[in-house]
């Protein structure tokens, strides 16, 4: 989607950047010349990335403001100011609403909504004085359309959608662009586990998706790379779907 080197010399901080979609974004940004700070709470997940000179792995929790502050501090010390912040860390929630206890509700809200807010807020604190920056928030097609037995997930991701719009309006005068990405069903180990446990039907998901297949992680990463680049300088406050046409299809 972008020419080689479109992020050359930029510093990007990616939460949840050691696995799944986050890891694919890490790889895509590196391929475009960016230096990466991977912020992940699983120390083992980022082990394979520690040998790269252009990658710094920081362990921490997105729900802890002090952890995020430490990650941004580490980024500035190693690579300079953070140019791009990607609030990617999140969890799913797939259960009947009557079985959803308060602890599970609070967990999905804490990670998917509070964690994104805290990441964006810390990024804003660093970017506003510089008068520039790009912030990407990972939403979901289920932040745009609803689905049963995913109440916590849908509510948290719809909050991320509105957060992107509100921050984009508030921070545009500071030279900061804020956008959200709304993936559909992406083929990840987590999704494979839900399919194996019978929580999702792969064949039905493919039939329901107009392009006839699930989304690949690299396709979400391509969108993130585009939004982080100079190719869309006037794009802010938008929710970009990477869902194979799922949310557009309302026939049956």
The catalytic site residues sit at 153
> How far apart, in whole angstroms, are the C-alpha atoms of residue 118 and residue 60?
13
> How far apart, in whole angstroms, are the C-alpha atoms of residue 24 and residue 59?
18
H or E stretch covering 159: helix 151-171
Q: C-alpha angle with apex 60: 112 to 77, nearest 5 degrees?
A: 120
Q: Are 56 and 109 in contact (CB under 8 A)?
A: no
E strand intervals along the chain: 11-15, 35-40, 55-59, 84-87, 133-138, 176-183, 239-242
Q: Radius of gyration (Cα) for the chain, nearest Å?
A: 17
Q: What is the DSSP string of 231-246?
A: GGTT--S-EEEESTTT
């Amino acid at each position: 989607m972008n020419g080689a080197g479109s992020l050359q010399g930029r510093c990007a901080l990616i939460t949840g950047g050691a696995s799944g979609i986050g890891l694919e974004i890490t790889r895509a940004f590196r391929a475009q010349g960016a230096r990466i700070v991977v912020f992940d709470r699983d120390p083992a997940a980022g082990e394979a990335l520690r040998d790269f000179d252009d990658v710094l792995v920081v362990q921490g929790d997105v729900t802890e403001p002090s952890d995020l502050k430490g990650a941004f501090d580490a980024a500035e010390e190693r690579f300079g100011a953070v140019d791009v912040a990607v609030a990617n860390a999140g969890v799913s929630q797939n259960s009947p609403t009557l079985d959803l206890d308060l602890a599970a509700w609070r967990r999905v809200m804490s990670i998917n909504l509070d964690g994104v807010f805290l990441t964006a807020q810390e990024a804003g604190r660093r970017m506003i004085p510089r008068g520039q920056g790009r912030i990407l928030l990972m939403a979901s097609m289920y932040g745009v359309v609803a689905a049963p037995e995913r109440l916590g997930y849908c509510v948290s991701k719809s909050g991320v959608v509105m957060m992107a719009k509100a921050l984009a309006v508030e921070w545009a005068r500071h030279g900061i662009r804020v956008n959200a990405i709304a993936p559909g069903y992406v083929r990840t180990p987590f999704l494979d586990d839900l399919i194996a446990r019978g929580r999702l039907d792969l064949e039905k998901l493919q039939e329901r998706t107009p392009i006839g297949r699930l989304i690949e992680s690299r396709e979400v990463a391509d969108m993130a790379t585009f939004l982080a680049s100079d190719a869309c300088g006037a794009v802010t406050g938008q929710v970009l779907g990477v869902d194979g046409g799922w949310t557009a299809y309302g026939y049956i």
